Structure 1
Amino acid sequence: MKLWSGRFTKQTDKLTEDFNASIAFDSRMYVQDIRGSMAHAAMLAKQGIISREEGENIMAALQEIQSEIENGQLEFTVEAEDIHMNIETFLTARIGDTGKKLHTARSRNDQVALDIRLYLNDEIIKIRQLLLELEETLLKIAGEHLHTVMPGYTHMQKAQPITLAHHLLAYFEMFRRDVERLDDCRKRVAAMPLGSGALAATGFNLDREYVREQLGFDYITRNSLDGVSDRDFAIEFCSFASILMMHLSRFSEEIILWATDEFAFVQLDDGFSTGSSIMPQKKNPDIAELVRGKTGRVYGDLITLLTLMKALPLAYNKDMQEDKEALFDALDTVKKCLMVFTPLLQTTRFQKEKMAQEARGGFTNATDLADYLVEKGMPFRDAHAVVGQAVLYCLENQQVLEEIDLETFKQFSSKIDADVYQNLDIANCVAKRQIPGGPAPQTVSRALAEAAAWLKEMQNAHK
């Protein structure tokens, strides 16, 4: 018999029962459901709504139930619909009428809102740690490549020389913003909704602050209608997850490109690559490709939640049962991607010589030649035209700028002297870009120190 079956005269149709049940996916919240129920029972006893002995019996039985679930001694059923009613069914079977008192002054509406917030908060802590481990890996690798020169690109065309350290720190900044977004999202997750009831709170004298303190929330929800119908925090998490996956996808795309023969900037570890079933020579960057592919999946989870909530009247609607599968999928996908991407990066070998060789091609020092002429007093637009002519000359004669002899250089501009070659040296082109945010090793070294200090602060923030 259903726990809500009092006003019904027929058994639930089997199709309805299967369609309505959520236990197949919300069972993962059993720990959070039991935590919330224990806090609620303790508060009911404190307020004299149930006796102290009843509260103790409920909490002891709930602890036993959790232990037996973890040991595989209890099985959830579709007949009990969801995790909340499964736990309550176990409890009532164990301690009888006392177990039936647990749901006093509580609805499944505020109960599920509580469980999702507790579960998401626990998962955010894990994801945050994985993100910080990725940031730590980036700093380590960047520190090893302060002087590894490589070409920087715009429009996928060689643009100007930079260093690998500078390039990696660009991703460090992306993931830094992701950590900050996640911390900010957690502020909205940290609202305690229990006590909202079905939608209109309750006439019982509950102590919501007591429950909040037991469960570690920062504050209680301020409106009972919003308390049961808000899923902004889940949408916000999926928004964070989508942006994070976009960053991982961009990084993956570069790794995939760099692993090609055409680039040959990296050698991927055999442990994080796969082969072909037909082509014996192949070493495929499947991990990076899967991370790139799973990004679309997380985008879909975000769109699912936005679409789910876009036209729902207050307060709770059964549509909202669909929130958990999208949220759980985003959580699982992000965790798996971070767990595999960090060791992929840790084991990747960067081909410094190849990067340096490619930095010397593609006229990446052309802007430096223009800047050289500007320093000699030429307007930048005129300098731009002069260098364009010099590049055209090189293309026609299969040379690079630093191979042009001085006499020929002077045909382009009389302002060019022998010191031009020092300005065209690729290492010097990088080294002189010392302003904050630039790629000069001296500047990047300071950026590394600042990033390391921030990382340490973040690692200590929630200890």
Structure 2
Amino acid sequence: MAANGIHKLWGGRFRAGEEDLMEQFNNNFKDTHWLCDPDIEGSLAHVAMQVECGLLTEGEGAQLTEGLLGIQADVHSGALPLDDRYEDVHTFVEANLIDRLGEVGKKLHTARSRNDQVNTDMKLYVKRETAHVVELVEAFLQTLRKKADENPYIMPGYTHLQRAQVVTFKYHLMAYHGMLQRDRHRLQSALENMDLSPLGCGALAGTTHPIDRAFTAEKLGFAGVYDNFMDGVSDRDYQLEVLAAFSILMMHLSRLAEEMILWGTQEFGFVTLDDRYTTGSSIMPQKKNSDGAELIRGKTGRVYGDLLALLTVMKGLPLAYNKDMQEDKDLFHDGLETVLLSLTMMERMVATLTVHPEKMRRAVSKGFLNATEVADYLVAKGVPFRDAHGIVGQIVLYCEDRQTSIEELTLSELKQFCPAIEEDIYPYIDYENILHKGIKKEML
């Protein structure tokens, strides 16, 4: 019995209880209430297997099942408070089960360790929540596609944040669509890789009880079981793989957030973010700040930190289980919650985005975005590309000095740079026509 009145699952060989500081340091229940459902789900499968293998009678199995379901219902209704005095979620569930059922409640843990139990709980949680993130990614892909299709307007494409070539707003957004498709694939791949059940691996070397690991794996929706018990209890790479996919996903969201912030400034004016996802200034009444996008950009580093922290926790651990692994729960949960919020916020910002095609069109006309096409035109006239490149550079300098654009130059002005230039250059370098040439049609 601990000083707080809560039984420990491991206290038999100790003469003295934990000091309060150690108890506080060791306790992680307050941060893992969300594991209660997976823990009960895993225990229900374990009870069914115990009955099937003869470790429990039918009556005992029915009692334990009813007790576990009762605890779950009472937690959901609030009738059973999630008391932080318990060391962990396993202690909370088992102690309350024993309080309700008496001696039979003590049979729940037969042929199981907290080591395989906690990894089973986390596997169930990570599988479920990763599948949820995949659903959100799919919803965002649909929103990106819809917003792109609604806005096939020309705009400047950039390299080095300098105007480069003409593209369309649709094409620009669809670049992120491609990135998010790969993010979805990474998450789906992680789901396939993690689809093994740890339940039955015991502390590290299985159990001498006659159990059926395939039975519990099927009950819990896993495709199979671990071949190696030590691997089963010490594996956390499934969380690392998902956090790595989360980090890449957040990087993509952050890049889009950065562009939305830039596009929304008065200097660009390409888009306007909906008021619902912006905030103001406490001192400057005119301000409308892109705080939703800025928070996504800022929170990206937080997910990177969760990944790096868990990598650091795991990098020097000998097999099998070590208490260091307790840190995985906080880190994964934090990364997950950040991704869920960021994805939802970005989807809503894109869905409600107002696009200003006239501003983008004006930016196109001022950026010499048809310079590459002038070079291509000269190449088609037989001029070597390297010579064509130099000729167009001189044309651009001429335009800059006169504050005009290439398409506004007269034919005689253009011919002074290269006699091969004819009247047919104008339709060739028209911005709308450029997008209808060859492979560029894919931008439309």
* Pairing partner for 2:112 from 106, 111, 114: 106
- Paired residues of 2:246 and 2:303 also in contact (CA < 8 A): yes
Q: Does 1:183 align with 2:188?
A: yes
Output the amino acid matched with 1:174: M
* Pairing partner for 1:85 from 88, 91, 100: 91
- Paired residues of 1:17 and 1:79 also in contact (CA < 8 A): no
Deviation at 1:3, TM superposition (A): 2.4
Distance 2:27 2:82 in 1: 11
Deviation at 1:76, TM superposition (A): 3.2
Structure 1 stretches of at least 4 aligned residues deviating more than 3 Å after TM superposition: 76-79
Distance 2:231 2:345 in 1: 38
Deviation at 1:78, TM superposition (A): 4.0
Output the amino acid matched with 1:159: A
Mapping for residues 79-158 of structure 1, pairs under 5 Å: 79-146=85-152, 148-158=153-163
Give per-residue Cα distances to partners, 1:59-112, cap 9 Å, x unaligned. 011000000001111123344300011100010111111111110010000000
Runs of 5+ consecutive residues of structure 1 not aligned to the other structure: 446-463
Partner of 1:270: 275
Output the amino acid matched with 1:199: L
- Paired residues of 2:38 and 2:124 also in contact (CA < 8 A): yes
* Pairing partner for 1:166 from 147, 168, 171: 171
Deviation at 1:444, TM superposition (A): 4.1
Distance 1:152 1:340 in 2: 25
Which TM-score applies when normalising by structure 1?
A: 0.93
Distance 1:384 1:188 in 2: 50
SS at match of 2:435: helix
Partner of 2:262: 257
* Pairing partner for 1:345 from 347, 350, 354: 350
* Pairing partner for 2:52 from 36, 46, 49: 46
Partner of 2:78: 72
Distance 1:280 1:156 in 2: 30
Partner of 1:449: none
Distance 1:124 1:310 in 2: 24
Q: Does 1:60 align with 2:66?
A: yes
Deviation at 1:189, TM superposition (A): 2.2
Deviation at 1:179, TM superposition (A): 0.2
Output the amino acid matched with 1:181: R
Distance 2:436 2:284 in 1: 44
Partner of 2:423: 418
Deviation at 1:201, TM superposition (A): 0.5
Partner of 1:325: 330
Runs of 5+ consecutive residues of structure 2 not aligned to the other structure: 2-7
Deviation at 1:31, TM superposition (A): 0.6
* Pairing partner for 1:295 from 300, 305, 320: 300
CA RMSD, Structure 1 to Structure 2 (Å): 0.9
- Paired residues of 2:151 and 2:355 also in contact (CA < 8 A): no
Partner of 2:237: 232
Deviation at 1:188, TM superposition (A): 2.1
- Paired residues of 1:17 and 1:78 also in contact (CA < 8 A): no
* Pairing partner for 2:409 from 404, 407, 419: 404
Partner of 1:312: 317
Which TM-score applies when normalising by structure 2?
A: 0.97
SS at match of 2:166: strand
SS at match of 1:103: coil
Deviation at 1:204, TM superposition (A): 1.0
- Paired residues of 1:161 and 1:426 also in contact (CA < 8 A): yes
